[in-house]
Amino acid sequence: MSRLAKAFGKPHPALVCFVTAGDGPTDAVLDALVEGGADVIELGMPFTDPMADGPAIQLANLRALGKGTTTAEVFRIASTFRERHPEVPLVLMGYANPMIHRGADWFADQCAKSGVDGVICVDTPPEEDAELGPFLRDAGVATIRLATPTTDAARLPQVLETATGFLYYVSVAGITGLQQAATASIEEAVSRLKAGTDLPVAVGFGVRTPEQAGAIAKVADGVVVGSALVELVGQHGDDAPAKVRELTAALAHAVHSAKETAA
C-alpha cells in the first residue's frame, strides 16, 4: 500500500499541512509538522508568479526565492525528509513551469528518487495533463487533482480520469488564505465527489483554526491547512518550528477526533 493510501486509511480523518520549501528553517518546520501530528505533508515549490495564491503564500514564495531556493534545494528537502520520516507521505504543490522546465521526465524521476508521493500542479488542468501527468504516473508518483465549486457534474469525470492519490477539494472559488466556505456546502460537495470516486477527498483553502478544521473533518477524509502555518513561519522565522508544532497539534487533535465527537 502506498504511503498516501496508508495515511488516508487511518481510522481518523487526515490532517494535511502545507508549507513553502525554502521559507524559514524548512527541515525543522517539516519535523515540527510531523511531531505535531500531520498525516500528509504538502511542500510548496516556490515560484516567482504564484497566481492562485493569496498574500501569505505569495510572500512565502518570494522569501524562499529571495534566499536562493532552487529546484535542487526543494528535492534536497524532500529526500532528507524521506530519510528522517520513512512513513509520512510528502507531496509537492506548485506551478507548471518549474516542474516542466528541465523536462517532465526529469522532474518525475527526481520526485521518485526523492521519495515524493504525489504532485499537485495548480495550473495544469486535465486538459493539459499530457504535459506532466503521464510522466509522474509512470514514475509511480500520484497526480493529485483539484476539484472546485465550479467543477460541475459534466466536467467531474474528466477531472477524476487522471486523478490518483487523493482528490483535493478547493472549497472556495478563490485564492489561498482568504475566504472560508460554509460547512454545509462542503458536505454537499464532498458527497458529490465521493459518488464519483473511491479516492479520499481532502478539503482545503481558507481553513485556519482547529475549530474550522474539526468541522470540515466531520464531512471529509482530510483537511488541508496552509496559509495559517505559512504565516507562522513568516512571523517567527528561525523560531517558527515550536509555534508550528503547537498549531499543528491543536489542528491534529481537532481533525483526528472529529468523527468520534460526531458519533
Partner 1 sequence: MNETAHPNSFRNQPDERGHFGQFGGRYVSETLMPLILELEKEYVKAKSDPAFKEEFEDLLANYVGRPSPLYYAERLTEELRKGASEGMGAQVWFKRDELNHTGAHKINNCVGQILLAIRMGKTRIIAETGAGQHGVATATVAARFGLPCVVYMGAKDVERQQPNVFRMRLLGAEVKAVKAGAATLKDAMNEALRDWVANVHDTFYIIGTAAGPHPYPELVRDFQSVIGKEAREQLLERTGRLPDLLVAAIGGGSNAIGLFHPFLDDPDVKMLGVEAAGHGLDKDHAASLAGGSPGVLHGNKTYLLQDEDGQIVEGHSISAGLDYPGIGPEHSWLKETGRVEYTSATDKEALDAFQLLCRTEGIIPALEPSHAIAAVVKVAREMPRDAVICANLCGRGDKDIFTVADALGVEL
How would you list the strands of the sheet with 118-121, edge to edge?
A: 142-143, 118-121, 90-94, 40-44, 14-20, 222-225, 201-204, 167-170, 145-147
Residue with cell 460541475: 152
* Catalytic, out of 39, 53, 117, 221: 53
Q: For residues 222 and 43, what is the distance between their CA atoms, to the nearest angstrom?
A: 16
Q: For residues 164 and 142, what is the distance between their CA atoms, to the nearest angstrom?
A: 5
Interacting residue ranges for partner 1, rule: CB under 8 A: 47-54, 58, 62, 65, 70-71, 95-102, 122-125, 127-128, 131, 145-152, 155, 159, 170, 172-175, 178-179
From residue 26, alpha-carbon distances to 111, 135, 193, 204 in Å are 18, 27, 33, 21
Cβ 21 to partner 1 shortest distance, Å: 12
Cβ 46 to partner 1 shortest distance, Å: 8
Cβ 48 to partner 1 shortest distance, Å: 4
Residue 53 appears among annotated catalytic residues: yes
* Catalytic, out of 23, 31, 35, 42: 42
Residue 42 appears among annotated catalytic residues: yes
Please, which residues bridge with residue 92 across strands? 43, 119
Cβ 72 to partner 1 shortest distance, Å: 8
Q: Which is nearer to partner 1, 143 or 248 (CB)?
A: 143
Catalytic center residues: 42, 53
